[in-house]
């Protein structure tokens, strides 16, 4: 049994979408979440910067005595996780865009993906999509310009947001996609808006559920589950402006921390 917390980080609030479901799956576990919103968004930074920031966040979580680390950010996963695993000796779990499940799902052989520029340009994403070209499947990429900032700010009207989403989604819809991969944890908060815009028959794929199941399996394999019967705690820290509660709600206590 190991009652040390599970540590997660993201550039902002996006990774809290993983935390929400993870604490339902593992209610007895303790959690620490770092929102590096001082440096948000990661999607336009260099690979070197992303590795530096991701390493800094992991070091802080280790300092806070976390037993396993979750890179709750697609951009950080696709650009930094290989380097993180070279220098950190506790389990590290990342979140990649759900291209593989989309390939298994698609019937039209056209997949759309909405993600950050740095995720779509990463070596890991290229390798994932290149491996599957034998399936004769077309992957239509769209950068979600400014969507992370919009979610972090939490002040845009529904009308304005829907107009931006239509600008990004319509070109992929016109390509006969039958599934849309959400390649950024922030975009989970836009799922309802996206569903309203997509025609019937187009499914939305994110990887929150399979990633959380993988986290549980890693804990089991490492004999690190917290077997206490009491409900675990959740601590969320940010290092920039106070986080908007529009998408994450008011159930969490948000604390400022230098890191």
Q: Residues 37-71: pLDDT tens digits? A: 999 999 999 999 999 999 999 999 999 999 999 99
Decide if 1 is inside a domain. no
Contact 97, 207 (CB under 8 A): yes
Question: What angle (nearest 5°) sits at the alpha carbon of residue 139, between those of residues 81 and 189?
Answer: 60
Contact 13, 242 (CB under 8 A): no
Residues 106 and 200 in one domain: yes
Residues 184 and 240 in one domain: no
User: Can 58 be counted among the known catalytic residues?
Assistant: no
Decide if 83 is inside a domain. yes
Q: Give the domain CATH number at 50.
A: 3.40.50.1860
Query: Could you give the CA distance from residue 143 to residue 257 in angstroms, rounded to a whole number?
Result: 31
Q: Which of the following is catalytic: 40, 58, 66, 73?
A: 73
Q: Which of the following is catalytic: 58, 66, 179, 184?
A: 184
**What pLDDT, on the 0 to 100 scale, is given for residue 128?**
85
Residues 159 and 83 in one domain: no
Residues 66 and 121 in one domain: no
Residues 112 and 201 in one domain: yes
185: DSSP letter: G
**What pLDDT, on the 0 to 100 scale, is given for residue 250?**
77
Domain termination residue (choose one: 187, 205, 223): 205
**What pLDDT, on the 0 to 100 scale, is given for residue 209?**
92
At 161, list the tokens: 């947001």
Number of domains in the chain: 2
Residues 51 and 131 in one domain: no
Residues 149 and 230 in one domain: no
Q: Which domain holds residue 79?
A: 6-96+208-256
Q: How many Cα atoms sit within 13 Å of 250 on the Cβ side?
A: 0
Residues 232 and 185 in one domain: no
End-to-end Cα separation, the chain, in angstroms: 29
- Stretches where the chain sits below pLDDT 70 are 132-134
**What pLDDT, on the 0 to 100 scale, is given for residue 132?**
55
User: Can 184 be counted among the known catalytic residues?
Assistant: yes
Q: What is the pTM of this model?
A: 0.94
CA torsion sign for 162, 164, 168, 174 is positive
Query: Could you give the CA distance from residue 188 to residue 177 in angstroms, rounded to a whole number?
Result: 19
Query: Could you give the CA distance from residue 111 to residue 102 in angstroms, rounded to a whole number?
Result: 7
Residues 145 and 233 in one domain: no
Q: Where would I find the H helices in 154-199?
A: 158-173, 191-197
Residues 197 and 222 in one domain: no
């Amino acid at each position: 049994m190991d009652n040390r917390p599970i540590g997660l980080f993201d550039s902002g609030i996006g990774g809290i979408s993983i935390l929400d479901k993870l604490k339902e799956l593992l209610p007895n576990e303790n959690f620490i979440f770092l929102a590096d919103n001082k440096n948000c968004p990661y999607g336009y930074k260099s690979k070197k910067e992303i590795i530096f920031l991701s390493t800094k966040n992991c070091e802080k979580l280790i300092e806070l005595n976390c037993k396993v680390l979750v890179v709750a950010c697609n951009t950080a996963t696709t650009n930094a996780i290989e380097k993180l695993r070279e220098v950190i000796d506790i389990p590290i779990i990342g979140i990649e865009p759900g291209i593989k499940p989309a390939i298994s799902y698609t019937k039209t052989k056209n997949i759309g993906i909405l993600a950050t520029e740095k995720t779509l340009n990463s070596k890991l994403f290229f390798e994932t999509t290149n491996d599957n070209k034998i399936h004769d499947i077309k992957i239509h990429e769209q950068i979600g310009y400014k969507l992370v900032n919009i979610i972090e700010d939490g002040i845009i009207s529904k009308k304005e947001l829907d107009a931006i989403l239509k600008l990004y989604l319509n070109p992929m819809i016109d390509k006969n996609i039958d599934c849309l991969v959400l390649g950024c944890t922030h975009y989970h908060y836009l799922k309802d808006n996206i569903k309203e815009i997509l025609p019937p028959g187009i499914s939305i794929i994110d990887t929150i559920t399979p990633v959380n199941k993988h986290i549980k399996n890693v804990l089991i394999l490492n004999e690190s589950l917290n077997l206490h019967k009491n409900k675990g705690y959740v601590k969320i820290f940010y290092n920039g402006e106070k986080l908007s509660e529009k998408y994450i709600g008011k159930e969490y206590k948000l604390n400022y921390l230098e890191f």
